[in-house]
Amino acid sequence: METALIDRTCSSDVPAMRGTLLRDEPMAAHTSWRTGGRAARYYVPADIDDLSLFLSRLEDDEVILWVGLGSNLLVRDGGVKGTVIAITGILNELILQASGVKVGAGLSCAKAARFSAGHGMTGAEFLAGIPGTIGGALAMNAGAFGSEMWDIVTNVETINRRGEKKLRQAGEFETAYRSVNIASDEWFVSAELKLQNDKDQVARSNIRELLAKRAASQPTGELSCGSVFRNPQDDYAARLIESCGLKGKTIGGARVSEKHANFIINTGTASATDIENLILHIQKTVQEQCRVELQTEVHIVGESL
């Protein structure tokens, strides 16, 4: 860690970092595709204060990658040369409020949905269909079943690479389909969600119905990242991929799902290169046959071998 951390003070009173630092950590253990190279450094902070201290001691040019549940993430086989910060189970704040809930970035979307429904609030049920964390959902304006994350956000707390925390209102951000204009050196650590009183007691049944719909239409029991491509305007990526005859297409251990064409499955032996090559093949084929340029929803990071 000597090349990534710097000593910003000579004082002996500076507190020690309390988190766990791992070197050459295999990222296949931390992604839903179960593939990918190693992270040079992998840090699990003890809490938000420890995270702030850790960030403040990083070199200014250190590459930082935040990881939650590892869905929507493809780490190339050459791995990550910088520092991965793991927040799942750490930034897991979950507080009931008068008009909604406050949720930490490391909390799973599904848990936030269940908590809200269980405490008589509706509006967050769609989060049950997002296989990731609140932090990831905030960063990409994730959505499911016709709703999006920033539809229910009132304010957020962020942290920058100097370890400085700031409370920001939802209106300070420009959001669009699967995008949010947050600076590259700033990350979400929590959010307050505005929900409604579930006076008709429909939230729990809504979640059951949404999860049943998801299980019926998506390969939920297989190794995937969720949706690979963004839907083009007025169309669906899955429809385009299927129209090109690509359902079941295989490269190495990676296969386009026969159940939902916008999912790529690791059949058990896929490398990250197999998956990325299949992504590129799908994009090329859809461009040639449909004249549509598919944009990836999955975040592809790291070095190629």
Q: What is the pLDDT of residues 226-283, one digit of tens each?
A: 999 999 999 999 999 999 999 999 999 999 999 999 999 999 999 999 999 999 999 9
- Our CA dihedral for 60, 63, 69, 72, rounded to 10 degrees, sits at 130
- Indicate left, alpha or beta for 47 from its phi (over 0: left) and psi (-120 to 50: alpha): beta
DSSP 8-class letter at 58: B
pLDDT surpassing 90 at residue 141: yes
What pLDDT does residue 8 have? Answer: 40
* 20-86 CATH choice from 3.30.930.10, 3.30.43.10, 3.30.360.10, 3.20.20.70: 3.30.43.10
Q: E strands of 234-282, at which residues?
A: 250-251, 254-256, 264-266
262 by Cβ neighbours in 10 Å (0-12 / 13-18 / 19+) ranks as buried
- Domain boundaries of the chain, sorted by first residue: 20-86, 94-204, 219-301
- Mean pLDDT (whole number) for 108-125: 96
- Please, what's the b/e burial string for 265-297 (b: 16 or more CB within 10 A of its CB; e: otherwise)? bbeeebbbbbbbebbeebbebbeeebeeebebb
pLDDT for 146-156, tens place per residue? Answer: 899 999 999 99
Is the domain 94-204 a CATH 1.20.120.1760 member?
no
Query: How far is the C-alpha of 133 from the C-alpha of 138, rounded, in Å?
Result: 9
Sign (positive or negative) of CA dihedral 78, 38, 227, 93: negative
**What percent of the chain shows pLDDT beyond 70?**
95
pTM comes to: 0.89
169-218 tens-digit pLDDT: 999 999 999 999 999 899 999 999 999 999 999 999 999 999 999 999 99
pLDDT at residue number 102 = 98
Question: Could you give the CA distance from residue 68 to residue 59 in angstroms, rounded to a whole number?
Answer: 23
User: What's the pLDDT band for 17 if we cut at 50, 70, 90?
Assistant: confident
Active site (catalytic) residues: 178, 227, 297
Kindly state the tokens that stand for 90.
């750490």
Q: What's the pLDDT score for residue 16? A: 82
CATH number for the segment(s) 219-301: 3.90.78.10
